[in-house]
Structure 1
């Protein structure tokens, strides 16, 4: 029986995969491309408007793979839900729309680790500009808080990015209070140096959320085919070459040139392992025939960990979302205006993320820092490398908290940057239907734990103990009992969670790196006709919210493949 054949098959229609498919399909030679996506075509009222930026991740289980971590020792033995987008667009359907490049030093260090200078900041910055269509005009209304240089940003790319046209209530008051006697304003987080406090760009436009599918699959050319509701269970081999894929429903397709895995940092290593590519002993123990002994598959899994800090506010000087959220009539009126012409309160509430990327003072004196190898000590000491992030205008935490009538709330997330803890993804069995064992090993590295403690402490002090903010606070809703190390550790055990930035589980690296799985062009070592193009290839965790890096990986590899195959 003959199966349909394509030049390229992309497994996963997510953030990187849709962009890669678009670029390949639009190359001058018009190669044939197939996307095979486990989920369907996302639809629904809560998927576009800025007001709903936090909603799909918690309410649309049909768009989520339903993963969770194994119990995390440093997080009180809790299993942490790990939301992963399922459907065309992948996790760009469910993310919180923050669009940050990270630090220029992330990419300079990346280039050092993989031995390829094309990953350095100078080249990467040009790719970011090519990817985006950045509407900067909103900043004219608050140029003291955001004022990017248009020369450093792109116009006409596929990903619509903006700075909010109007800031949410309270944003200026809070940022001016923080910077009054504290860290400086950063007028452009995407300049290559994120250190400072300011307004984050976001991945939406007047029409709402940008997903990789809305950006790259609308009006797809006839040489780009898409299978939906088709989770891939096996790669098809001829010798040591991958020549096709088999979906759960029995459909098969072959690739004349390459199969590209773009299923994300959890599902790409899962499919490699199921197909016999990974640590030989693990595979043999599950009765899986070993095609290629590749010890790093599923290892080096990393993620950002965060904790939400929240307080009830007297009145609503810092934000007036709570009254809106509790009023069904106002919601219906806002829905009607959004559907009519993309206007109204759905464009205003939850439209702004103010943030800070900061260093922990005197880090070099910490014993945990001194124990690092010289390369990581030097990297973490670079001026443009932050140690933690805080981000505001989040949802009420805990979500079931009841506030007094007329009051509001202030919720801030405090994140660890540059995690050094390395976890793993392994299979439960050889059954593709079984969910994998996901162990991010949060805070297992002693410096991670120390810097996270410091980040939470400093975030609380900077905001909730700031005199210009504290006067508005009525009571603590979520936070440590005190700012002692002991109380912060106890708080972490009960409250810390993930922000879903999994990466590194099919690590890019030099051939002599024992955990390296792909080369700097994302080709899998020792297997012909196979690449991995998504966040799983990251050799380090970038200082950002990682959707921009996922797009970057797709763009970088598309350019490399177009040259390699003379497309």
Structure 2
């Protein structure tokens, strides 16, 4: 049986960083198991290719959520990356860290070394920021290239001017001292190509002789000896492939993401005893928090029809698309170099909120039935608005003992009253932004939710009808003290009560952050790599008083 020092399950964002950092020691052997294929497909590396990979099951788990209390009887689509780079290979490229308070809250929940001054050095260490930014907060020499949207669009400029007219200031760097205001988005794109975690971290590491990356390797279970993880079982070649086993001398590291990490723990006998027994799985270790606490951002998308100017809806078809394709091929610019979101706006749902609790995005395009991935034929512009720190929590649970069956995903969007109030406030702000004075030359009429929808109850009903995920699931293997009933890992990301087993991905977040999750997932893995190697952590940042 083959033996490595570390076996990493999942070659997504976290797994890619871990592979790179752990293999820096050439005496350490690292094996990475990825259920999906290599990231060879051209749509992965073409920024606008997200609109294809969004539904491409060869590189996408293409999960479906359960119907929730406020989803209007709908099962919401939940794409997740299934290829080298994971979701960083199919996502919208956005780089957004979150607020200082997000991480300080993690520390206040009993997680030593996870406050903002502790995590900022890791954000800086992995980042190669090109563009504006105070070097107190930004990195310049890391693996991950971060640029700012450089496509100057009249609709985007008018939207930002509209935000300023409503008292929302321009902010040249929302990943700097304060996350507030409006600006073009920052993204992981360089020279018109996607910079995924695989591009930045995994592929450079894979050139080392002590790294073994295996694709089409679907892990079906963790092997335990008593309470110690000693290896994994996996199938190479799908459900009917021959089962294989490999051993880990030091640690098994689970980096499958917020859906797959708790699913594999449960399949392996770690989780709530009642759930495991229901499916005939022997309880290796009772840990009721596994899979519980799922959080995500829920976004209704407000749409206005556009006049007097062309939008992405028209540019993406016919002769115009061929022109854009030629432009990308020759200059790496134009429509095919764009992200699905072009402008970010952070603001307050009310006068009493101390920091921004709303996140809004703008794009000069509109999508069929409010779902990203299918552009409409008519010209339109869209503002998605969501609550940054939702209170509602759901769960991820195995559907059966079959490791190839998708898990049950119940997000429970808007179950808490506060979430419903903030989401309605976001829709009201989106309406004001779209109807602002600078956008009037281009604003034809409001298409969704529509002028007849005015009361809070009507707006909530519209959010229920058309709201969707923002693809930010986390918090299903939460980090916290051993005596917290919901906790799965400690502040070293070791699974409570087990040995030789860690979870390192977005699932360990104890509560949702006010941002897209990819940047923080990369940071979590980078910080964890020092923990695993026993290295002295990066020195905590010395920061000015927070304004």
TM-score, normalisation: structure 2: 0.92
C-alpha displacement of 1:446: 1.1
Answer yes or no: is the 8 Å Cα contact 1:98–1:203 preserved in 2. Answer: yes
1:330 is matched with which residue: 317, 320, 324? Answer: 320
Answer yes or no: is the 8 Å Cα contact 2:358–2:388 preserved in 1. Answer: yes
Quick check: 1:346 aligned with 2:336? yes
2:442 is matched with which residue: 472, 476, 486? Answer: 472
Secondary structure class of the residue paired with 1:128: helix
Secondary structure class of the residue paired with 2:495: coil
2:30 is matched with which residue: 29, 33, 55? Answer: 33
Task: Give runs of aligned pairs for residues 278-293 of structure 1, distance below 5 A.
Answer: 278-293=271-286
Secondary structure class of the residue paired with 1:179: helix
Task: Give runs of aligned pairs for residues 480-519 of structure 1, distance below 5 A.
Answer: 480=450, 481-519=452-490
Quick check: 1:273 aligned with 2:271? no
Answer yes or no: is the 8 Å Cα contact 1:167–1:351 preserved in 2. Answer: no
Alpha carbons of structure 1 residues 490 and 49: separation in structure 2 relative to 1, 3 Å: same
Compare 389-398 and 208-217 and name the one that shifted more: 389-398
Distance 1:225 1:168 in 2: 44
1:100 is matched with which residue: 96, 113, 135? Answer: 96
1:156 is matched with which residue: 121, 136, 141? Answer: 141
C-alpha displacement of 1:344: 4.8
The residue that corresponds to 1:255 in the other structure is 248
Distance 1:60 1:216 in 2: 24
The residue that corresponds to 1:402 in the other structure is 377
C-alpha displacement of 1:495: 0.3
| Cα shift readout 1:140-162 (whole Å, capped 9, x = no counterpart) | xxxxxxx4224431112111110
Aligned pairs, how many?
523
Distance 2:296 2:162 in 1: 31
Answer yes or no: is the 8 Å Cα contact 2:64–2:76 preserved in 1. Answer: yes
C-alpha displacement of 1:115: 3.2
Distance 2:472 2:162 in 1: 30
Answer yes or no: is the 8 Å Cα contact 2:478–2:510 preserved in 1. Answer: yes
Secondary structure class of the residue paired with 2:186: coil
The residue that corresponds to 1:24 in the other structure is 22
Answer yes or no: is the 8 Å Cα contact 1:169–1:320 preserved in 2. Answer: no
1:307 is matched with which residue: 295, 300, 323? Answer: 300
The residue that corresponds to 1:125 in the other structure is 120
Answer yes or no: is the 8 Å Cα contact 2:63–2:78 preserved in 1. Answer: yes
| Cα shift readout 1:21-76 (whole Å, capped 9, x = no counterpart) | 1100013x531000000001123332223333x41343422211121111111111
1:361 is matched with which residue: 350, 353, 359? Answer: 350
C-alpha displacement of 1:178: 1.5
Answer yes or no: is the 8 Å Cα contact 2:33–2:214 preserved in 1. Answer: yes
Distance 2:115 2:152 in 1: 34
Answer yes or no: is the 8 Å Cα contact 1:83–1:500 preserved in 2. Answer: yes
Answer yes or no: is the 8 Å Cα contact 1:57–1:83 preserved in 2. Answer: no
Distance 1:460 1:94 in 2: 30
CA RMSD in angstroms comes to 1.9
Secondary structure class of the residue paired with 1:114: coil
The residue that corresponds to 1:70 in the other structure is 66
Structure 2: gaps spanning 5 or more residues = 236-240, 369-373, 538-547
Distance 2:407 2:96 in 1: 29
The residue that corresponds to 2:233 in the other structure is 246
| Cα shift readout 1:199-220 (whole Å, capped 9, x = no counterpart) | 2211111151111111112242
Distance 1:390 1:85 in 2: 24
1:391 is matched with which residue: 361, 371, 378? Answer: 361
The residue that corresponds to 1:526 in the other structure is 497
C-alpha displacement of 1:198: 1.7
Answer yes or no: is the 8 Å Cα contact 1:421–1:441 preserved in 2. Answer: yes
Task: Give runs of aligned pairs for residues 361-440 of structure 1, distance below 5 A.
Answer: 361-363=350-352, 381=353, 383=354, 385-393=355-363, 395-398=365-368, 399=374, 401-403=376-378, 408-440=379-411
C-alpha displacement of 1:125: 1.3
C-alpha displacement of 1:395: 4.2
Structure 1: gaps spanning 5 or more residues = 137-146, 364-380
Answer yes or no: is the 8 Å Cα contact 1:164–1:352 preserved in 2. Answer: no
Quick check: 1:212 aligned with 2:221? no
Distance 1:310 1:181 in 2: 19
C-alpha displacement of 1:170: 2.4
1:544 is matched with which residue: 498, 505, 515? Answer: 515
Distance 1:158 1:362 in 2: 40
The residue that corresponds to 1:198 in the other structure is 183
Distance 1:346 1:424 in 2: 36
Distance 1:400 1:77 in 2: 23
The residue that corresponds to 1:14 in the other structure is 12
The residue that corresponds to 1:560 in the other structure is 531
Secondary structure class of the residue paired with 2:516: coil
2:209 is matched with which residue: 222, 227, 236? Answer: 222
Distance 2:514 2:375 in 1: 31
Alpha carbons of structure 1 residues 153 and 413: separation in structure 2 relative to 1, 3 Å: same
Answer yes or no: is the 8 Å Cα contact 1:131–1:159 preserved in 2. Answer: yes
Quick check: 1:232 aligned with 2:219? yes
Secondary structure class of the residue paired with 2:494: coil
Distance 2:365 2:158 in 1: 19
The residue that corresponds to 2:172 in the other structure is 187
TM-score, normalisation: structure 1: 0.88
Secondary structure class of the residue paired with 1:433: coil
1:46 is matched with which residue: 20, 40, 43? Answer: 43
